[in-house]
Amino acid sequence: MLKNFTDLQERVKSIEPRTVSVAVAQDEAVMSAVRDAAKIGFIKPVLVGDGTKIREIGDKIGFTDYELVDCPDEAEAMKTAVELVRNKKADVLMKGIVNTAVYMRGVLNKEYGLRTGNLLSLLAVYELPQYHKLIYCSDSGINVAPDLEQKKVIMRSALNAMKNLGFENPNVAILTANEMVDPKVISTVDAAALVEMVKKGELPPCTAEGPIAFDVAFDKHAAEHKGIDSKIAGEVDLLIFPNIEAGNIMGKSWLQFNGAKWAGIVLGAAAPVILGSRSDTPEIKINSIALACLAAAK
């Protein structure tokens, strides 16, 4: 069980370093995080972008232990960084100082991208002071209102990634507003259907419950009070959200009011993809790199 991001980093240090291809890498914040991850020992960085600017930043921050692919043109740098992953010369793709839309178009490019035919989804991981282990969540950043089939793919992607993180039978809460299946509330119908898919072996092994409300998922006493015999109450590993609003609001409330730490990667491509934001702290970047390296474990 990974209790926190320190545990996650220790786990990733126990495997062979992964090669991370950084697209349009000439950004001090990104390069600082990559430098620190390389110093910790869990990545081999390949920096793709403007060689002159990358060297200048590297000299400024004391970072020289990297492979450089000099591509001053942004479009060419994006293409080259993606192709390194596509051609198995790198294990993880990371966003540098490139527009998010341009970055995702590169990931999904039909000619050189990382398409697999699967739906892309965000796996977010949170460390909360009030909870005894890391909480994995999907999808709170890409799919706005997934239907049942899309939720199935989102859940499968998350479970497959978690297997590489050491989970054999994670506890999954498929969140809704209550525990009753109501045809008028599609999320409850979908939740019950996903649980049936697990029982039929259509999804990776896990202990899944749904529809289930947040209080029941995290509080045994709430489950008992409602007369619910839950095997996962208080021991949830993975949350599956009904829509992007639920996941986004919950995640941001944890960050704002609970002092949470977090990391996130995009699943569904041929390799883990680190999306990131200019506003992400170095800690978030390093945690996301560590998460992606474990998810990419062979």
pLDDT tens-digit series, residues 239-261? 999 999 999 999 999 999 999 99
Distances (CA, A) of 11 to 52, 83, 118: 35, 28, 28
Q: Are residues 68 and 155 in the same domain?
A: no
Say if residue 206 is in the same domain as residue 92. Answer: no
Contact 267, 158 (CB under 8 A): yes
CATH of the domain at 226: 3.40.718.10
pLDDT at 158: 97
Whether 276 and 200 map to the same domain: the answer is no
- pLDDT band for position 1 (cuts 50, 70, 90): confident
User: Residues 276-282: what's their mean pLDDT?
Assistant: 82
Q: How far is the C-alpha of 62 from the C-alpha of 170, rounded, in Å?
A: 41
Do both 31 and 149 map to the same domain?
A: no
**Strand duo 121-127 + 135-138: pairing:** antiparallel
pLDDT band at 278, cuts 50/70/90?
A: confident
What confidence score (pLDDT) does residue 280 get? 85
Nearest to 98 by CA among 18, 22, 45: 22
Whether residue 111 is found in the same domain as residue 18: yes
User: Are residues 275 and 226 both part of a single domain?
Assistant: no
pLDDT band (50, 70, 90) for residue 3: very high
Angle at 16 between CA 10 and CA 17, to 5 degrees: 80
Structural domain boundaries, residue 98: 5-116+269-295
pLDDT reported for residue 62: 97
81 plus 147 within the same structural domain = no
Predicted confidence (pLDDT) per residue in 79-96, tens digit: 999 999 999 999 999 999
Same domain flag for 35 and 135: no
Q: Are residues 182 and 213 located together in one domain of the fold?
A: yes
> Is residue 266 scored above 90 in pLDDT?
yes
* Residue 277: per-residue pLDDT: 78
Residue-level pLDDT at 276: 82
CATH number for the domain that contains residue 281: 3.40.50.10950
Q: Per residue in 29-72, pLDDT tens?
A: 999 999 999 999 999 999 999 999 999 999 999 999 999 999 99
Give the C-alpha separation, 86 to 260, whole Å: 34
Same-domain status, 138 and 112: no
Number of domains in the chain: 2
Pair 134, 85 in one domain: no
Q: Residue 298: pLDDT above 90? A: no
Same domain, 166 and 79: no
Instruction: Quote the tokens at residue 53.
Output: 């600017």
Of 247, 155, 146, the closest CA to residue 195 belongs to: 155
Tell me which residue of 224, 127, 207 sits closest to 170, measured CA to CA. Answer: 207
Supply the pLDDT for residue 297.
74
Tell me the pLDDT tens digit for each residue of 190-239. 999 999 999 999 999 999 999 999 999 999 999 999 999 999 999 999 99
